[in-house]
Every structure is written in structure tokens, then in C-alpha cells.
């Protein structure tokens, strides 16, 4: 199955929606004491920043892993930056858990961290401790950093009807 065939649906997320979803995720995390946040780059950076603000956490580190090449998942996994400290008490944050490929690698790296993602798909969902929204496996989540607003013709112009 090609990558183009894999995604049948699109779930666009606006900046406002992402912010609301990150705050909703934060409510699930507020009752714990965290050593710091560990963001999975690049997608986890913005959710981590929002959650850090909401929880008043100032210590943020990163794990840098590359598995995506725009719409295609690459065959190779590149660990660009690891985390070697004790992961107990750390909050691990990413934007999305999809197939679980990245999540599995990071789970091995930081086995004691609490793993929270904003969005989850069924294949990766068992690997995270908390998430806000689940979407089907065949849905592409279009994050606001991957899109831009543009003019769309009114419906009456595209249908040939006029007022």
C-alpha cells in the first residue's frame, strides 16, 4: 500500500484548536509533580511549550528522532539526539502517536517517563499514557505548521448559481 493510499481522510487542526487540545491534555497532567518536559522533535515542540506554560515547568529537553519525510514514512529511523538521564518523573510530549514506530523507540530510551500526546491513532495508542483526541488510522492530521490559510471561492461561484 502506498502512502497516498494509506490516508483516506484529512483532519485539519487550526492553531486555536491545537492550543485548546493542549490545554485539555494539561488538565490530565496537572495533579503530578514533573521534573521536566521531554519533547519529541519536531512535532512535540509546540505542544510541549504550551503544556510547560500551563504547568509552570521551566526545564524542557528534547529527543530528536526522524522517521517522517513529509507524507512518507522513511524506512530508516534516525536518532539525532538521545536522552540518557533517569526518565522517572519526566513528562514525554509529542503531537501525535501514529503507527507507534517513533513511540516504541522513545519508550525504550525513556522507559519511566509519562508519555502524553495530543492526538492518537489506534496502532500507537497503547504506547501512550494520555492523549486528548483519537482519529482513525487512515486519517492524516494536518497540523497548523504544515498549512496556511487561503482564499476559497464561495460555493455559488463553483456551482454556477448566482443570487
By residue range, what is the domain housing residue 151? 3-159
**What is the per-residue pLDDT across 75-120, written as a single tens digit (0 to 9) for each?**
678 899 999 999 999 999 999 999 999 999 999 999 999 999 999 9
- Tell me the pTM: 0.85
Backbone φ and ψ of 111, nearest 5° = -65, -20
Among 21, 61, 94, 129, which one carries the catalytic annotation?
Answer: 94
Q: Looking at residue 143, which CATH number applies to its domain?
A: 3.40.50.2020
How many angstroms separate the CA atoms of 152 and 69, rounded? 28
- The CA distances from residue 156 to 66, 147, 151, in Å, are 44, 25, 15
**What is the per-residue pLDDT across 26-52, written as a single tens digit (0 to 9) for each?**
999 999 999 999 999 999 999 999 999
CA-closest candidate to residue 64, choices 76, 53, 77: 77
CA angle 79, 19, 55 (to 5 degrees): 75
Among 86, 98, 129, 146, which one carries the catalytic annotation?
Answer: 98
Number of compact structural domains in the chain = 1
DSSP state of 144: G
Is 98 annotated as catalytic?
yes
Amino acid at each position: 500500500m502506498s502512502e497516498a493510499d494509506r490516508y483516506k481522510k484529512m483532519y485539519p487542526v487550526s492553531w486555536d484548536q491545537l492550543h485548546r487540545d493542549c490545554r485539555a491534555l494539561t488538565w490530565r497532567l496537572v495533579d503530578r509533580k514533573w521534573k521536566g518536559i521531554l519533547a519529541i522533535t519536531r512535532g512535540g515542540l509546540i505542544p510541549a511549550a504550551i503544556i510547560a506554560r500551563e504547568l509552570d515547568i521551566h526545564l524542557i529537553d528534547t529527543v530528536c528522532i526522524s522517521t517522517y519525510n513529509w507524507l512518507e514514512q522513511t524506512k530508516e529511523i534516525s536518532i539525532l539526539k538521545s536522552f540518557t538521564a533517569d526518565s522517572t518523573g519526566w513528562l514525554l510530549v509529542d503531537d501525535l502517536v501514529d503507527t507507534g514506530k517513533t513511540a516504541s523507540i522513545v519508550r525504550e530510551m525513556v522507559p519511566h517517563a509519562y508519555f502524553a500526546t495530543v492526538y492518537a491513532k489506534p496502532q500507537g495508542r497503547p504506547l501512550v499514557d494520555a492523549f486528548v483526541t483519537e482519529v482513525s488510522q487512515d486519517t492524516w492530521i494536518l497540523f497548523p505548521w504544515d498549512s496556511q490559510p487561503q482564499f476559497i471561492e464561495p460555493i455559488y461561484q463553483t456551482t454556477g448559481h448566482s443570487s
